Structure 1
C-alpha cells in the first residue's frame, strides 16, 4: 500500500472543494494506504500564525513528505497566484526523489519546473481513484509552459 502526501492550497472555497475531491478519490483507491493531507492535520493546540505553530507545522509537513512514497500535488494556480507552500512541497519532494503526481484540472499554462519535475500528469481528481500507485505509470504534460 502506497503512502501519499497531498499537497495543495486550501485557502478559498474553490481550493477546499478541489482538495476534498482529491482526498475522496485517494480514499477510494485500493492501492493507497495512508493519505496525509495538511488540510486535515492542522495543529489545533497552537495559535495559527505564531512562531511555534509555524515551526510545528513545517516540521510535521516535511516529516510527512519524508515518510510518503509519493506526493500528489494540486497545481491549479490562476495566473501568477502560485501557492508558495505547495511549490515548496513539490520542490522538496523532487529533491527527495519522491515521485510527483500532478493534478491539473484547470485550463491554465503549467510552469516548466512543474512540467519537467512531475512523474505523472492527471487532469481530473477522479483519476486519482483509478491511478495505479503500486506501479506508478508515467505520463507527461504536453501543453504550453511558462
Structure 2
C-alpha cells in the first residue's frame, strides 16, 4: 500500500468564511485519501495564535509544510489572489512541486483567470470542488 500524498492547502485564512471553507476543503481531501497540511491548524496560523507566538515561527512552519508536501492546492478566489497564497504558490513552483489552483470566483482578468505569474505557476485549474477532486485522482 502506498503512502498517502500530502497536500499543502494554501488559501486566505482571515475571515470566518475563509476558515470554514478551508476546513471544508480539508475534509473533502482527507475523505478522498490524502493527508492535508492546513496552515490555520498545523502552523497555528490564526489571529489568537499570533498573539502567543511570533510570526517567524508561523512562517517557518508553513515553509516546512510546503517542503514536506507532495503538492499544493491553492484557493485563488477573490479580486486578487491572497498575497500569502501567491507566495506559497511561487515557493512550491520553485521547489518543483505541482500546484493545483481552485477558483470558484467567476470574476476574471481581461487576459486570464488570475494574475499571469500565478496562472503560469499552476499545473491545473479547477473551477469547483468536483473538478478539483477529478484533477486530484491522478495524484492518488
Scaled by the length of structure 2, the TM-score of the pair is 0.80
- Tell me the alpha carbon deviations over residues 75-108 of structure 1, each in whole angstroms, 9 at most, x when there is no partner: 1022x4x421111111101111110000101112
Residues 1:9 and 2:12 aligned together: yes
User: What is the deviation of 1:129?
Assistant: 3.8
- 1:32-71 equivalences under 5 Å are 32=34, 34-41=35-42, 42=44, 48=50, 53-71=54-72
Give the SS at the match of 2:77.
Answer: coil
Tell me the number of residue pairs that the alignment of Structure 1 and Structure 2 aligns. 129
Q: String of CA shifts for 1:112-139, please: whole Å, max 9, x gaps.
A: 112211111111124444421426xxxx
Q: Is the 8 A contact 2:39 2:45 kept in 1?
A: no
Q: Give the whole-Å Cα distance in 1 for the aligned partners of 2:50 and 2:58.
A: 10
**Structure 2 spans left out of the alignment, 5+ residues:** 109-113
In structure 1, the residue matched to 2:111 is none
Of the three residues 123, 128, 142, the one matched with 2:127 is 123
Structure 1 pair 112–21 and aligned structure 2 pair: CA distance change class (3 A): same
Greater relative contact order, per chain length (Cα 8 Å cut-off, separation 6+): 1
| 1:95 equivalenced with 2:94 (yes/no) | yes
The equivalent of 1:86 in structure 2 is 85
* Distance in 2 separating the partners of 1:21 and 1:108: 22
Name whichever of 9-18 and 91-100 sits farther off.
9-18
Paired with 2:73 and 2:49, the residues of 1 have a C-alpha distance of: 28
Residue 64 of structure 1 aligns to a residue whose secondary structure is helix
The equivalent of 1:140 in structure 2 is none
Aligned partner of 1:77 in structure 2 is 78
Q: Displacement, 1:43? A: 6.1
Structure 1 segments of 4+ aligned residues over 3 angstroms from their partners:
126-130
SS of 2:129's partner is coil
